[in-house]
Amino acid sequence: MDFIDPHIHMAARTTDDFHRMARAGCAAVAEPAFWMGYDRSGTNSFYDYFRQLTEWEPKRAAPYGIRHHAWMGLNAKEADDVGFAREVIAVLPEFLDRPTVLGIGEIGLNKNTKGEVESLLMLIDLALSRGEVMLFHTPHLADKYPGTRMILDILRAEPRVEPARVCIDHCEEHTVRLALEEGYWAGITLYPTTKATPERAVDMVELYGPDRILVNSSADWGPSDPLAVPEFMAAMRRRGHAPEVIRQVVYDNPNAFCGQSRSWKVDVRG
Ligand SMILES: [Zn+2]
Q: Domain residue spans in the chain?
A: 3-258
DSSP character at residue 193: S
CA of 12 to the centre of ligand 1 (A): 11
CA of 235 to the centre of ligand 1 (A): 23
CA of 7 to the centre of ligand 1 (A): 6
CA of 169 to the centre of ligand 1 (A): 9
CA of 212 to the centre of ligand 1 (A): 19
The pLDDT, as a whole number, for residue 171 is 96
CA of 175 to the centre of ligand 1 (A): 17
CA of 41 to the centre of ligand 1 (A): 20
DSSP character at residue 241: -
The torsion defined by the Cα of 73, 253, 167 and 129, in degrees rounded to 10, comes to 60
Q: Which residues contact 56 (CB under 8 A, 6 or more apart)?
A: none
CATH classification number, 3-258, choose in 3.10.20.30, 3.40.50.970, 3.20.20.140, 3.40.50.2300: 3.20.20.140
The pLDDT, as a whole number, for residue 270 is 57
The pLDDT, as a whole number, for residue 121 is 98
Burial class of residue 44, CB neighbours in 10 A (0-12, 13-18, 19+): exposed
pLDDT along the chain (270 residues), means of 10: 97 97 98 94 97 98 97 96 97 98 97 96 98 96 93 98 98 96 97 85 98 97 95 98 98 98 84
Q: Please tell me the distance from the alpha carbon of residue 245 to that of residue 97, in angstroms, as a whole number.
A: 35
The pLDDT, as a whole number, for residue 13 is 97
Strand ordering across the sheet containing 213-216: 3-5, 26-32, 67-72, 101-108, 133-137, 166-168, 185-189, 213-216
Of 147, 217, 154, 211, which Cα lies nearest the Cα of 181? 211
Q: Please tell me the distance from the alpha carbon of residue 56 to that of residue 242, in angstroms, as a whole number.
A: 38
CA of 207 to the centre of ligand 1 (A): 25
CA of 270 to the centre of ligand 1 (A): 30
CA of 248 to the centre of ligand 1 (A): 22
CA of 72 to the centre of ligand 1 (A): 12
CA of 10 to the centre of ligand 1 (A): 10
The pLDDT, as a whole number, for residue 138 is 96
